[in-house]
Amino acid sequence: MRSFWGLMRAYWFSERWKEAWTLTLIIALLTALSSKAGVWFAEASGELVNSIAFFHDAANTTPLRSLLTNAGILVLLVVLKDAGFTGIRTLVSTTLHRKWRGWLDSRFNEALLDANHTHFHAQHGSSGSAAPDNIDQRIQESIKDMTGGAIGLAMGVLAVATSLYFVGQKLLENSAEVQGLEFLGSYGSAVLAFLAVATYVPLNTWIAVKLGKLLERLNVRMQQAEGSYRGELTTFLRRSFHVAASQGEDVQRSMHSQRYVDIDRTWARLNIVNTSYNSFELIYNFIGARIVAYGPGLVPFIHNGFDLKGYITGSEMVNSLIGQCSWFIHVMPAIAALRANSQRVTELANAIENVQHPQEFYRQTGHSDFRYASQNPVFGLTIQKLELAHQGEDATPFLSAANLRFRRGEWTFLKGESGCGKTSLIKAINGLWPYGRGTIVFPEGVRSFYAAQEVKLQQVSLKQLVCLPGSEHDHSDTQVASALHRAGLGDFIEHMAEESREGKIWDQVLSGGQKQKLVVARILLQQPGLLFLDEATGALDPDGKIAFHQAIKDNCPDVTVISVMHEAVPPRSLSGAEFYHSVVSIADGVATKKPLVPSLPRELTTILAQPTPVEDKWLRFSRRLKQR
């Protein structure tokens, strides 16, 4: 789906191809019937005009009856064509639109939300292209408008083909000789009609294409401007409290005004081009329906090659043919919108594809050479020759760590000035830092859990929130209730199944401290073996921080904890005992690890300084191999 045509045909060659082709064939059949009904309509129009023209003719013995009958037939054909064939086709086409959009939406969501963290990597640009802006708009609006526009255009193309067949066939049947073109025989009037259509429509289509390209560029620009403005509004509403607390309304208002200026300017230009196009289309329709359609049959009509009925019928069919062949002109604004939307969707598809191998992607704009491996869980987590840098081939590493080892059950506190790279270090360990090099060896089979400093809660039930990143079906209500109780959120147990309380989602119901207690509940439920705390206690008071750590200490006895906090000194338990065993200090761009002396008990210091029995066996085994 990285090209326009690949995007257009993907659904029809997917696992749901039967659904796609069935709906498409029904639409094709109804379009053909509608085109055939157009021929019947032209013939009925000729009959009606003929009955009006000869209403007072002496040979017409039942003028009123003929007039009413022909008018009734015409009305029935209109109902059959517009309410029957066209109406049912609209229902089927909108169903196809809904199905196709749903399939594309699911594909993009699966691609973005895969184990590769594609949604995260796709927001970083490469040397060849910028990161796609407003991904939410591309998935929500661009896919919807693109699929709807493509179906409408496809139906237009099919209508042109079927009309050319049915109307052209009828024009040839009713054709007459034209004076001066006798060498064409009885096909003279039909040839004149085809020449008029073939000359008039392509010339004006060329004009429409020129205007359409301008519309396409303006449509893309309008979508970008609208997306940026909406994104800023969404961000503002999420940080509404901070804006109010800092009295930053004036600054925020200025930002909104700046975003809207771009919308207003682009909209003004788009209105001018749209108005010009509408005027062009109105003039084109009038000339086509009143001059070009009636011109070819006028010559044989003057020379008695046609009677009035034949002239009207033929002219109406030429008018119908012009209308169908003018499909490209009528839908040029829609084509411009389709191309604009498809461009934004294919750009997103390309961005997703480009980051399937993150390190190769990041190497385009800097150094990215991280190696991730696993080892016996008894050895814990090991980091070797780690260097972190920013984007750029010549970027100097801002953080380095020669050799860090975190043993099973060890709690480590990351310490350093603000901006020194504490959070970057744990991001890199978890594969979420793009630039740098080094080796990270995880304990094999150990589940890790990353508790970030900013918690975003979806509009789901409380039980689903506690069960993240797993499913609510992975844990019983009793297990979830127990986790909530131990985390200090027992008051909410009876509301586990609810997605909201008093009309508010849980993100609005829970305070900052309660959200971080919810993180504790998730940790207690998931029982990770490796836990990363990225300022996860920032919203808690001193007692809350102690309770946070104590709950983990009491319920996850073998967990390895690596924690980033604002505090210079990590919290202790109520009895004064240390939660943390060691500290990683970051100073002058270098991370070094040492035991948390002087509070660490001598016995534990000795144990941490010595290899475990298993490690000792491995060391002795390695020495024997070297001796051999």
Instruction: Of 138, 79, 147, give the one whose Cα is nearest residue 109.
Output: 138
Instruction: Provide the residue type at 101 as one letter.
Output: R
pLDDT of 94-150, one tens digit each? 899 899 888 988 888 888 888 888 888 888 776 566 778 777 778 777 887 888 778
- pLDDT, mean of residues 201-206: 80
Pairing of strands 448-451, 436-443: unpaired
> What percentage of the chain reaches a pLDDT higher than 70?
91
Going from the C-alpha of 439 to that of each of 150, 189, 371, 404, 429, the distances in angstroms are 48, 82, 5, 11, 9
- b/e string for 481-515 if b means 16 or more Cβ within 10 A? bbbbebbbbeebbebbeeebeeeeebeebbeebbb
pLDDT at 12: 92
**Angle at the Cα of 465 from the Cα atoms of 464 and 469, rounded to 5 degrees:** 85
| Degrees, nearest 5: CA angle 601-606-607 | 100
The C-alpha atoms of residue 210 and residue 277 are separated, in whole angstroms, by 10
* Predicted pLDDT at 620: 55
Query: 464-507 pLDDT, tens per residue?
Result: 888 887 888 888 999 999 999 998 888 899 988 888 887 788 88
pTM to 2 decimals?
0.63
Task: Enumerate the β-bridge partners of residue 206.
Answer: none
Which sign, positive or negative, has the C-alpha torsion 408, 410, 416, 422?
positive
pLDDT grade, residue 601 (50/70/90)? very low
Beta strand 530-534 with 381-388: parallel, antiparallel or unpaired? unpaired
Computed over every residue of the chain, the mean pLDDT equals 82
What does the pLDDT look like over 40-58, one tens digit per residue? Answer: 887 888 788 888 888 877 7
For residue 404, the model assigns a pLDDT of: 92
List the structure tokens of 316: 């109406």
Confidence at residue 127, expressed as pLDDT on a 0 to 100 scale = 58
For residue 99, what pLDDT is reported?
92
Residue 52: the pLDDT is: 84
- Paired with 561 in beta bridges are 411, 531
**pLDDT for res 328:** 65
- How is residue 445 written in tokens? 């089979």
Residue range 532-585, pLDDT digits in tens: 998 888 778 888 889 889 999 998 888 999 999 877 788 888 888 889 999 999
Using H for helix, E for strand and C for coil, what is the string for 574-621? CCCCECCCEEEEEECCEEEEEECCCCCCHHHHHHHHCCCHHHHHHHHH
Pairwise pLDDT comparison (307 vs 619), residue with the higher score: 307
446 or 393: which carries more pLDDT confidence?
A: 446
Lowest mean pLDDT among 207-216, 255-264, 364-373, 453-462: 453-462
Residues 6+ apart with CB under 8 A from 190: 168, 171, 172, 174, 175
DSSP letter at 392 equals: B
Average pLDDT over residues 586-592: 92
Look at residues 576, 518, 583, 581 and name the one whose alpha carbon lies nearest to residue 551: 518
Determine the pLDDT at residue 292: 82
SS3 179: coil
DSSP code at position 397: P
pLDDT at 518 over 70: yes
Nearest residue to 193 (alpha-carbon basis) of 328, 285, 294:
294
Ramachandran region of residue 461, left (φ > 0), alpha (ψ -120 to 50) or beta?
Answer: beta
Cα angle: 543, vertex 548, 549; to 5 degrees:
105
Residues 429, 412, 537, 240: what is their CA dihedral angle, to the nearest 10 degrees? -30
What is the rounded CA–CA span in Å between residue 294 and residue 313? Answer: 10
Radius of gyration of the chain from its Cα atoms, rounded to whole angstroms = 36
Work out the pLDDT band at 18, boundaries 50, 70, 90: very high
**Residue 348 confidence (pLDDT) above 60:** yes
Neighbours of 428 (CB within 10 A): 24
Which value, to the nearest 10 degrees, does the dihedral of the CA atoms of residues 498, 503, 505, 509 take? Answer: -100
Beta partners for residue 291, in sequence order? none
CB-CB neighbours of 206 under 10 Å: 10
CA distance 454 to 231: 19
Cis omega before residue 358 (within 30°)?
A: no
- What is the DSSP-derived secondary structure letter of residue 395? P
Residue 590: the pLDDT is 93
d(CA 173, CA 186): 9
Q: What is the pLDDT of residues 300-326, one digit of tens each?
A: 888 787 777 778 777 877 877 777 677
pLDDT at 199 over 70: yes
Give the residue from 308, 315, 317 showing the smallest Cα distance to 290. Answer: 315
- CATH 3.40.50.300 assigned to domain 447-570? The reply is yes
Check whether 625 has a pLDDT greater than 60.
no
* Section 579-592 average pLDDT: 92
Strand partners, 586: 416, 591
3 state SS for 129-159: CCCCCCHHHHHHHHHHHHHHHHHHHHHHHHH
Backbone angles phi, psi at 432, to 5 degrees: -115, 15
Whether 17 has a pLDDT exceeding 70, the answer reads: yes
**E-only strand ranges, 77-135:** none
pLDDT band at 441 (very low <50, low <70, confident <90, very high): very high
Average pLDDT over residues 225-232: 84
Instruction: Provide the token pair at 425.
Output: 């270090």
- Listed by start position, the domains of the chain span 1-176+337-356, 180-305, 367-408+420-446+581-612, 447-570
Q: Which residues sit opposite 490 in a β-bridge?
A: none
Q: HEC profile for 466-485?
A: HHCCCCHHHCCHHHHHHHHH
Mean pLDDT to the nearest integer, 381-393: 91
Q: Are residues 412 and 478 in contact, defined by beta-carbon separation less than 8 angstroms?
A: no
Identity of residue 225: A
| pLDDT at 437 exceeding the cut of 90 | yes
Least confident of 254-263, 283-292, 299-308: 299-308
- What is the rounded average pLDDT of the residues 239-260? 79
List the beta bridge partners of residue 449.
531
Instruction: Name the nearest CA neighbour of 492 among 508, 480, 504.
Output: 480
